[in-house]
Amino acid sequence: MAIDILFKGGTVVTDAGMFKADVAVAGEKISLIGANLKPEPATQVVDCKGKLILPGAIDAHTHLAMPFGGTISTDDYETGTRAAAAGGTTTVFDFILQDFGEAFPDAIKRRDVIAAPQAVVDYSFHLAVKDVSNGLLYTMEDAVKMGVPSFKVFMVYDFGVTDGVFYEVLEHSKSIGALIAVHAENNELVGYLTNKYINEKKTSAWYHYMSRPEFVEGEADVRAIQWAKNAGAALYIVHLANKQGVEAVTAARDEGYPIFAETCPQYLNFTRDVYKRADGINFVCSPPVKGKESQAALWDAIIRGDIQTVATDHCPFLKSEKKWGADDFRKIPNGCAGIENMYPYMLSEANKGRISFSKAVSVCATDVAKIFGLSHKKGAVEVGRDADIVIYDPKARVTVSNKQMHGATDHTIWEGVSLKGYPVQTWSRGRLVFKDGKFLGEKGAGQFVPCKPIKLTTPDLHNL
């Protein structure tokens, strides 16, 4: 097989370790990994001396061009995936909000016609469930057959599902190869606490946190896990941000239940004190960022393996939109940008010694692919997988500034954060899409990646 591209002289990072090797690419795939591979006359050689060769990250949680909070999230499929590429992310899973009365395959088609001409890196979808009445439940299976086997239910927001619907989709998921994900917060308590603080004229961003504190999320995590256990179904908790929830996930996994959890970089780097800052409104997301104890529990769970994935929950809004709620936290559109920051941040934490590079790769790429049925194509530097490759310079030093970001948002909660090391090149299926700070990709070059049906019956991903 011809070698089109040869990544030479670098250190390959997998979820299991690091080793010096050259990586050859033929067409869109990794074709060979080994020592001292020889280029052919037409081979493009990429000098990787002193650099790490990593799989492109898979962001399992984005909201691109999503109608939400009275507006539409700022990044569309072009600007969102452009920012992803610039941060070393080569696949994004975007959430499709089902319309009431809409069959799931129709929802996929409705969004794919928008995504396909815009995306610059590959993408897949999760479906956010609103309505399973009148036979719509049974269209979940058609979505699985189209390569979208993951569904999220919301326990909050005005389109959240009832407990009965949540349980029904959990039961149904088992027979069709689907995985149910949940946004877990106690809606009744959020409502009660919100009204209480508004009536007391406590309206600042801090009261967004106070109306959704640790126990409001933790209680819902416990309940969701209990239902999954009773239904005999796997469960994936998105954007886990609190210690009680971590403990519930850990306990269920120790008992052998297939319970999985994702957290986000904003919960790992910031604490609830951000809501007291002058720019506190910009950090408003749900669940809100929590206290130090929760943050420590999240890191410990990543290290133990009880949290398997890190994803962004990228859902940016303009400063002017965030300001709608300057005097009333209920009016702040919920969500923050992060698609360009996740992999650089997690790798920087590895470079600073908090976790290993292998752990950063597993939570941002390899285990994401395993959970969502993408291991046949994505998530590792391995022969036969797509040549989605990031070249990482561990010696680079970057202070995050929105001016250097590649999305459409006019601010970033990551402004001023210092990173040790940075991705210097991103390759998407053998195409160079980002180099030394410059975006080089092409609108519409990203492709929809169908996922395989998901059957998670044990907490141990290595048994898949």
Binding residues vs ligand URP (CB under 6 A): 63, 183, 285-286, 313, 315, 334-335
Shortest distance, CB of residue 221 to Zn ion, whole angstroms?
13
Contact partner at residue 378 from Zn ion, ligand URP, none, CB < 5 to 8 Å by partner kind: none
Residue 172: its H or E element: helix 163-176
User: Least distance (Å) from ligand URP to the CB of residue 154?
Assistant: 7
Least gap, CB of 342 to ligand URP (angstroms): 14
Residue 438 Cβ, how far from ligand URP at the closest point, in Å?
30
Q: Is 20 helix (H, G, I), strand (E, B) or coil?
A: strand
- Residue recorded with tokens 């600042």: 204
Residue 48 or 184 having the CB closest to Zn ion: 184
In whole angstroms, the minimum distance from the beta carbon of 63 to ligand URP comes to 5
Minimum CB separation of residue 377 from ligand URP in Å reads 25
Q: Which CB, 312 or 362, lies closer to Zn ion?
A: 312
User: How many other CB atoms are found less than 10 A from the CB of residue 45?
Assistant: 14
CB of 92 vs Zn ion, minimal distance in Å: 12
Nearer to Zn ion, 95 or 357 (CB): 95
Binding mask 309-328 for Zn ion (x = CB under 5 A): ----x---------------
- Measured CA to CA, the distance from residue 165 to residue 436 in angstroms comes to 48
Q: Return the one option of Zn ion, ligand URP, none that residue 14 interacts with (CB less than 5 to 8 A, by type).
A: none
The nearest distance, CB 179 to ligand URP, in angstroms, is: 16
298 vs 92: CA distance, rounded Å: 23
Give the nearer residue to Zn ion in terms of CB position, either 62 or 428: 62
- Least Å from the CB of residue 338 to ligand URP: 10
Q: 335 is in the binding site of which of Zn ion, ligand URP, none (Cβ under 5 to 8 A by kind)?
A: ligand URP
User: In the complex with ligand URP, which residue's Cβ is closer, 248 or 285?
Assistant: 285
Instruction: Please list, in sequence order, all residues whose beta carbon lies within 8 angstroms of the beta carbon of residue 125, skipping any fewer than 6 positions away.
Output: 93, 94, 95, 96, 108, 111, 112, 148, 448
Nearest to 339 by CA among 104, 56, 117: 56
Per-residue binder mask for Zn ion (CB under 5 A), 142-181, x = binder: ----------------------------------------
Please classify residue 101 by burial: count the beta carbons closer than 10 Å to its beta carbon, then call 0-12 exposed, 13-18 middle and 19+ buried.
exposed
**Closer residue to ligand URP (CB): 183 or 272:** 183
- Please, what is the minimum distance in Å from the beta carbon of residue 391 to ligand URP? 31
Question: Hey, is 257 helix, strand or coil?
Answer: coil
Q: Which of residues 178-207 bind Zn ion (CB under 5 A)?
A: 183
CB closer to ligand URP out of 58 and 389: 58
Which of ligand URP, Zn ion, none lies near 334, with the C-beta cut-off 5 to 8 A by kind? ligand URP
For residue 201, count other CB atoms closer than 10 A to its CB.
Answer: 8
Task: Retrieve residue 131's tokens.
Answer: 């309505």
Q: Which of 448, 456, 430, 440 is nearest to 113 (CA)?
A: 448
Closer residue to Zn ion in complex, CB, 214/313: 313
377 makes contact with Zn ion (CB under 5 A): no
* Pick 21 or 264: Cβ nearer ligand URP: 264
Residue 39: Cβ-neighbour burial (10 angstroms; 0-12, 13-18, 19+): middle
Q: 272 with 290: CB under 8 angstroms? A: yes
- Interaction with Zn ion in 229-268: which residues (CB under 5 A)? none
87 binds, options Zn ion, ligand URP, none, Cβ within 5 to 8 A by partner type: none
Q: What is the DSSP letter of 16?
A: S
Nearest to 241 by CA among 206, 219, 205, 266: 266
Nearer to ligand URP, 31 or 98 (CB): 98
Whether the CB-CB separation of 319 and 411 falls below 8 Å is answered with yes
Half-sphere exposure (Cβ direction) of 291: Cα atoms closer than 13 Å: 9
CA distances 48 to 16, 124, 380, 394, Å, are 21, 30, 17, 12
Binding site for Zn ion (CB under 5 A): 183, 313
